[in-house]
A and B are shown apart, each in its own frame.
Chain A
């Protein structure tokens, strides 16, 4: 594989990768930052955590070797603890007794400056919030959480990547209520198109359920999937159909976006987006929330519907859990002779780091893919694709994601020698596709249900063998 194009000797890793900010604040940022920090401390409950981290942080820097960014750059500012320490120092100085005392009576005390704000602005978006470092910290210091808190405070003074802010604004305040501005009629058209495609490839006639009430599952995927990932969605549909659950699910037309960028930078938005999601389920009187193939959408719903849903909490399932359940109960059949290539699996950090979804996709894959190889390390200890924490949506830092964030991943992929990388996450797929192209790796990136779509047997439809032949003929033409 090509070395990163920007080699270490050139010192280029010191390079900054600025992102667009909508209305950059230029004046008086220190005072504004402190005011925002004070407000956050006042209403949230981060204080005890910060108190404890401030005092115990041993700076052993064990976390550094776990971080793909530091491993690539070897630059001290990329040490996870260094980043975290920026925020902790500010907290200590301005919001604790000790800090106040030092600043009053000792000459050399820390002061927040514009330069430090610039440094935070840069560093908090050099971390993919993948939390791999947390797994390796003896004290369990959660740099993902602190990075997120830092970003939250910065966002309150207007420092936030434009790409994220614009999406969130559309989702919460816009007409379409989704990040990609897909209007309702476009959704309906897409669903029709998907139904036609299904008829053509699978040989069955279906109509996608939209706004049906009292259904078992209300389905949300990353809204971009409707535009970019028809195979994944058709795979989802195929499982529901084959399992005989076609009249048990629905899509809601008022809110059909599982994306939640609040998870990456704002408590405020996180909560409101979750509420919007819960309201839609309530409107349709659904029983469960079923999230499509998207890591952060799954994690935000799974972890935060119980927190922010109030009394209206609904069980949250990832689609892979559903599929595995169908497979175990024998409700669906996957033909093991269809996928002959070498396949590997990339764990999306948001669902794998906590250990929630690690074995499910593997069990599914191993049931019909003969040539399966693991990346090393994997599961809870996987490396981030390099686009986590919302970075993948920021196009202007493409070079950072390729050269720095994703370098370790690209090497890992190359070592497996796989022809297909399965990654059940909209963000990871985008980043991995760009990586594969950037480093010229001979493999293709797909979702799990893209493969299932090829191998599943559909009652009353074309067999998987027939479909495979059809596809091969098409490719020859």
Chain B
């Protein structure tokens, strides 16, 4: 078991993390290129201020939480904040960043991390409940919506169990291994599923740029389909 954990923490971690980084980098490059480079000329009609405010205005969506879908929105916002804080700044993870990326990050204390982990777990349960019980969400659900929520739940749940032997029904090793492997599974699926909004979020928000249509394209489409004499 020990070797398995060492393997999961070592090469497997590096490998899966790399998949995630490369996959997300691909998204980033394609979107960045298509928005900021190939749309270059049209882009001059949009101010940088507008671009930045559209990109980041929802990062802390305070004014949107109080209307419409209150429970869902608030819970999902808290979930995002807590999940990012724990997974990046948890003291044991800081070591990983030091080892692999050579960066020193500040860490949050164990007590806070415990609370945040419970918050994350609670939020995920509420989100699952929303999918099941809120009609408009239920109507468009896909299997993957549940699968992904559970995949996100696993590393937090088993991380917490591993850290609290008193309530952990599994041997420490097992819990730890599941924690690590499920986290790594998540790395792998991130670039291929809706979780890639980690990166794409910022580009999706730029619909103002996509409204800068391509000059001449309409005529070309019409000619390709109807010939030179295309009529309305």
Contact = CB atoms under 8 A, between A and B. Distances in A.
Contacts of B216: 271
A272 B193 CA distance: 39
Interface string A33-51: 0011001101111111101
Nearest to B32: A48
Interface stretch (B13-21, B165-173, B180-188, B199-207): B199-207
A394 B54 CA distance: 34
Nearest to B198: A56
A140 B207 contact: yes
Contact of A268 (B145, B208, B222): B222
Interface stretch (A74-82, A110-118, A246-254): A74-82
A24 interface: no
Interface stretch (B118-126, B136-144, B152-160): B136-144
Contacts of A141: 204, 207
Task: Say whether chain A's binding surface is mostly helix, strand, loop, or mixed.
Answer: helix
Given A44-B214, A140-B58, A267-B213, A58 B197 contact: yes
B54 A271 contact: no
Contacts of A79: 136, 139-140
Interface string B221-232: 110110000011
Given A42-B224, A45-B214, A270-B213, A169 B201 contact: no
A47 B142 CA distance: 24
A196 interface: no
Contact of A39 (B72, B193, B221): B221
B232 A52 contact: no
A40 to B, nearest CB: 6
Contacts of B174: none
A145 B194 CA distance: 20
A435 B216 CA distance: 39
A92 to B, nearest CB: 13
Nearest to A44: B217
A307 B194 contact: no
B38 interface: yes
B48 to A, nearest CB: 16
Which one of A39, A48, A76, A173 has the highest number of Cβ atoms from chain B below 10 Å of its Cβ? A48
A168 B232 contact: yes
Contact of B207 (A56, A76, A142, A168): A142
Contact of A173 (B69, B203, B213, B231): B231
B87 interface: no
Contact of B211 (A62, A65, A76, A145): A145
Contacts of B212: 307
B139 A268 contact: no
A257 to B, nearest CB: 15
A64 B136 contact: yes
A224 interface: no
B215 A308 contact: yes
A40 B204 CA distance: 20
Interface residues of B, number: 56
B30 A173 contact: no
Nearest to B205: A140
A307 B210 contact: no
A113 B84 CA distance: 43
List the 9 closest pairs (A to B, CB-CB), nearest first. A268-B218, A142-B207, A140-B205, A48-B34, A267-B218, A76-B139, A43-B220, A169-B232, A44-B217
Given A45-B214, A172-B232, A272-B218, 18 more contacts: A39-B221, A43-B217, A55-B27, A55-B193, A60-B72, A61-B137, A62-B69, A65-B69, A82-B139, A138-B64, A140-B54, A141-B204, A142-B210, A266-B218, A267-B218, A268-B218, A307-B45, A354-B208
13 contacts: A39-B221, A39-B225, A43-B214, A44-B221, A47-B34, A52-B203, A53-B204, A61-B137, A65-B68, A138-B61, A271-B219, A303-B45, A304-B213
Interface of B: 27, 30-31, 34-35, 38-39, 42, 45, 54, 58, 61, 64, 68-69, 72-73, 76, 134, 136-137, 139-142, 145, 192-194, 196-197, 200-201, 203-208, 210-222, 224-225, 231-232
Interface of A: 35-36, 39-40, 42-49, 51-53, 55-62, 64-66, 70, 76, 79, 81-82, 85, 134, 136, 138-142, 145, 156, 165, 168-169, 172-173, 266-272, 303-304, 306-308, 310, 354
